[in-house]
Amino acid sequence: MKETPAMNETKGRVEGLVAIVTGAANGLGFAVARLLAAEGATVFLTDVDPVGLSSAASDIGSSARTMAHDVRSEEAWATLIETIERSEGRLDILVNNAGLLRVGTIESCTLEEFRLQNAVMSEGVFLGCKHAIPLMARSGGGSIVNISSTAALQGFSPVLAYTAAKGAVRAMTKAIATHCLERDYGIRCNSVHPGNIHTSMNRERSSPEQAARRENTWEPLSNGSFGSARDVAEMVLYLASPAARYVTGSEFVIDNATIVTPARLPTPSA
C-alpha cells in the first residue's frame, strides 16, 4: 500500500507537553520518544546506556533531553522529577518502557534473575508512577502509559520472571488509574501490550529488510509477522494525547491478533 502525505503528517498532537520515556536509548523507547518529539513534546529520554542516549538524542534533535537513569533507584527517580520541575515546571506524560528479558521457566529461573527483572519492570513502574504523579497533578493532569506485554495476558512458560513482571504492570496500571480518578488528579493511566515487535529482544527472528518495510509502510501484516516499534509508538502517542481524554484503566494489545488466533494443531493422519 502506497503511503499518502496524510499518513506522515505531523499534527502536533502533544505540542507543548513535557514527557519522560524510560529505556529510550533504543528499541521501543527510542521510537516512542522520537514520535512524541516529532509531535511537539519536550522529551526526557532516560536509560542506563549513556552512549545510546547520546545517539538517540542526536537523532531526535533539540526537543530531546537526556539523563542516565536506573529505574530501580528511588533516588534516581526523585532526582529526575526534581530536574524536570526545575527546568520545565511541569510534567504531562510518563512512558514506563524500560525492561529486560531473560529466558527461564519456573524450574530454571533463579531467584536472582526473578528479582532483577521484577526490579526493573515492576518496581521501576511503581517508582516512576509514585514520583511522577504529584508533579503531573500540579501540572493539571496528564497521561501515564505503562508498557506491558502480551505475556501478561497469556501464560508464557519460557520467560517466567518477565511474564510475572509484566503481569504486575498490567494490574498496577488499573489501580493507579483508579487512584487518580478518586483524587480527581486528571491523570490517565493505561497499559500497552505489544506482541512480536522487531526490537533488540527478538531481532534475530526477523530480518532487517522485513523490519524496514514494516517501519515505513502501512501494508497489512500476515499471520505470524513481526510488527515495528513505530506500531507501538503510534498507540502510545494516542494515549498520551488529548484525543484519549476519556481513556483510562484500559489495556491495549498490539499483536496482529496473535493471542486470539487459535493454535494450529497437527492434521490427524488418515
Specify the 3-state DSSP secondary structure of 83. Answer: helix
**Could you tell me the three cell numbers for 221?**
501484516
- Whole-angstrom CA distances from 176 to 95, 188, 248 are 14, 9, 10
- Longest Cα separation, the chain: 73
**Could you tell me the three cell numbers for 48?**
542506563
Q: Contact, 151 vs 166, CB < 8 A?
A: yes
Q: Contact, 240 vs 143, CB < 8 A?
A: yes
**Which residue of the set 162, 185, 238, 246 is catalytic?**
162
Q: Cα angle vertex 236, ends 59, 52, to 5°?
A: 30
d(CA 85, CA 83): 6
User: For this structure, is 238 an active site residue?
Assistant: no
Count of alpha carbons within 13 angstroms of residue 54, beta-carbon side: 3
Place of cell 484500559: 250
Pick from 179, 200, 204: nearest CA to 189: 179
Q: Which residues contact 51 (CB under 8 A, 6 or more apart)?
A: 25
Among all residues, which ones are annotated catalytic? Answer: 162
